[in-house]
């Protein structure tokens, strides 16, 4: 069906996927990666406090987007879609961001709703799992927001039953609550209280008790799994579809919270751009895990496929 390029610009990172989309005789779509890349640009740095995208954050994002544009053109992408999520939804000067993306990429970025973000994440996450494990709950913890989406997957297409996006993520909760290195007990307690309060809105909207399988996507979850596995370097093949019990989530989160920034940076699988925000992200995961355990979902399945794959599928 052709070669497509998907760009996901979130609060913490900007990612590119160039892929070939094909369809089988039964109508099932599949992706074959041509190029996949992630850069931490921290577009949403300070947005929670100031309400605007900083000039420095915009410059970092522009530099990454220039490189991505060169890549997708070299690779021969026929269709391109760029999606912007939490940070741009919240910024008063979002027009500066859109002008920049149009100038560099040649197409307009789309600010999607939280619910659309959740649906795209669900499509990407479930496309590589056994459909018999449903209903599925997909959680996407970004820098500024967390999406929960419940649905089914029949091996060809996903059907979403409920979805909600809430304003809590690894950057937002870190900037709000975790100032010390390592975080103090009081800071951790406050972060858990904030996460629990914000996630309660999602739990009220999404009947998570109906889920049989919990799938976690995006960098916080995949990094947590890499640390739990003791990887000396980030290996997506070891991480994809790996499972963590609730106890393993708790243990890994506690380990990260006890470490200094320098100690976290020394972990072989830790991306430099996640060192400062992984503790906040891990606390969001742990809060989710403990609530889901209370309704009988006791394992987290990590997926390397997420909203980026969903955006690519939407171009088919």
Instruction: Specify the CATH number for the domain of residue 167.
Output: 3.30.420.150
Same domain, 93 and 201: no
Same domain, 102 and 175: no
Same domain, 95 and 153: no
- Predicted local distance difference test score (pLDDT) of residue 1: 67
Helix (H) or strand (E) holding 16: strand 13-23
Same domain, 55 and 92: yes
pLDDT value at 117 more than 80: no
Quick one: residue 27, left, alpha or beta (phi over 0 = left, psi -120 to 50 = alpha)? left
Share of the chain above pLDDT 70, in %: 97
In this structure, what CATH number is given to the domain that contains residue 72? Answer: 3.30.420.40
Give the domain extent around 64. 2-114
Structure tokens, 11? 């609060």
- Predicted local distance difference test score (pLDDT) of residue 192: 96
13 part of a folded domain: yes
Same domain, 110 and 153: no
Structure tokens, 300? 């987290």
DSSP labels, 48-65: HHHSS--HHHHHHHHHHH
- Predicted local distance difference test score (pLDDT) of residue 26: 65
Surface-to-core class of residue 6, CB atoms within 10 Å of its CB (0-12 exposed, 13-18 middle, 19+ buried): buried
200 part of a folded domain: yes
- Predicted local distance difference test score (pLDDT) of residue 61: 94
Is the pTM higher than 0.75?
A: yes
Nearest by Cα to 224 from 175, 183, 265, 285:
285
Query: What are the tens digits of pLDDT across the range 267-302?
Result: 999 999 899 999 999 999 999 999 999 999 999 999
pLDDT value at 144 more than 90: no
Same domain, 139 and 232: yes
- Confidence label for 142 from pLDDT (cuts 50, 70 and 90): confident
> Domain boundary at 61, 93, 114, which?
114
- Confidence label for 96 from pLDDT (cuts 50, 70 and 90): very high
> Domain boundary at 94, 114, 134, which?
114
120 part of a folded domain: no
């Amino acid at each position: 069906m052709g070669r497509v390029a998907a760009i996901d610009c979130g609060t913490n990172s900007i990612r590119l996927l160039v892929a070939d989309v094909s369809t089988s005789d039964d109508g099932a779509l599949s992706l074959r990666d041509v190029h996949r890349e992630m850069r931490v640009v921290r577009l949403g740095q300070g947005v929670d406090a100031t309400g605007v995208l900083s000039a420095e954050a915009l410059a970092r994002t522009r530099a990454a987007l220039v490189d991505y544009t060169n890549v997708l053109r070299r690779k021969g992408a026929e269709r391109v879609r760029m999606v912007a999520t939490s940070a741009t939804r919240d910024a008063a000067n979002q027009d500066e961001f859109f002008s920049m993306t149009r100038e560099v990429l040649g197409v307009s970025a789309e600010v999607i709703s939280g619910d659309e973000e959740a649906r795209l994440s669900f499509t990407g996450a479930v496309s590589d799992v056994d459909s018999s494990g449903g209903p599925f709950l997909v959680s996407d913890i970004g820098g500024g927001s967390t999406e929960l989406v419940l649905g089914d997957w029949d091996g060809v297409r996903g059907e979403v039953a409920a979805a909600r996006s809430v304003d809590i993520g690894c950057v937002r909760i870190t900037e709000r609550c975790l100032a010390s290195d390592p975080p103090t007990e009081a800071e951790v307690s406050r972060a858990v209280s904030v996460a629990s309060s914000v996630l309660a809105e999602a739990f009220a909207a999404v009947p998570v008790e109906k889920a049989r399988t919990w799938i976690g996507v995006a960098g916080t979850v995949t990094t947590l799994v890499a640390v739990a596995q003791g990887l000396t370097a980030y290996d997506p093949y070891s991480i994809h579809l790996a499972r963590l019990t609730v106890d393993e989530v708790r243990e890994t989160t506690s380990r990260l919270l006890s470490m200094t920034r320098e100690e976290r940076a020394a972990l072989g699988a830790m991306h430099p751009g996640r060192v400062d925000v992984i503790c906040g992200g891990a606390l969001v995961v742990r809060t989710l895990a403990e609530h889901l355990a209370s309704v009988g979902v006791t394992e987290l399945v990590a997926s390397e496929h997420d909203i980026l794959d969903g955006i690519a599928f939407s171009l088919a």
